[in-house]
Amino acid sequence: MISKSDLAAPPGAREQLLDTASAIMREGDIVDISLSDLSRQSGLNSALVKYYFGNKAGLLKALIEREWLAIVKSVEALLSKDFDAETKLRIHMEGVVDNFFRTPYTHRLLMRLIRESEPEEAQRLADTYLKPLLDAYEKLIGEGVAAGVFRPVDPQLFYFTVIGAADRFFSARLVLKYCSATDVLDEALRDRYRTHLNDFVVAGILVQR
């Protein structure tokens, strides 16, 4: 039985492992890690993965839980604000781009975990992380339609449009590298894409006057 004291884990080791796994996937544009890379870059014994998470799959699920719960909570908080529907949508679009910039692997990793899980666990992941966003889009679009500012659109298709666009952009380093001589997704490019995506999506859903 492995104990934390046996491994001389420093304070905050669990979060350090998660932070390092996140950094590896972000920098490598991947949705997996090797325990040897994790140990080397974190400076921690890889056996701590077993102690804290059970195995690597458990670590990846813990990372998804940390990232997606933050996303779900931020969307729920936004919907509770006393803003008009268009303002909420624009704020949310900025948040989507910011989230993908910070953790571009998140959606792809969740899809991988759902695909590779047993049906019961796959359903739990979807119920916990995907359905709240779909429900939020249904509510937000409904508010805008009721206010006469949004066209009635399918919330599920809207989800695929928004998340799919951001996901593809922030996993497109090879396109950038070979078509624009850079593979750096920096803050300037993030800001340009934030404005671009926001303008396209909002223009597409607003009632034309």
pLDDT tens readout for residues 16-37: 999 999 999 998 889 999 999 9
**Rounded mean pLDDT of the chain?**
91
Task: Tell the burial category of 108 from Cβ atoms under 10 Å away from its Cβ (0-12, 13-18, 19+).
Answer: middle
Mean per-residue pLDDT for 101-130?
Answer: 94
Rounded to two decimals, the pTM is: 0.87
Domain spans in the chain, listed from the N-terminal domain onward: 1-54, 63-205
Q: What was the pLDDT predicted at 2? A: 52
pLDDT tens readout for residues 93-104: 999 999 999 999
Q: Residue 5 corresponds to which amino acid?
A: S
Q: Could you tell me how far CA 95 lies from the centroid of its own chain?
A: 10
* Dihedral sign, Cα of residue 38, residue 41, residue 47, residue 49: negative
CATH for the stretch 63-205: 1.10.357.10
CATH for the stretch 1-54: 1.10.10
Confidence of residue 49 (pLDDT cuts 50, 70, 90): very high
Distance CA(70)–CA(16), nearest Å, equals 18
pLDDT tens readout for residues 176-208: 878 887 777 889 989 999 999 999 999 999 998
Distance CA(95)–CA(53), nearest Å, equals 29
| HSE, side-chain direction, 13 A CA sphere, residue 134 | 10
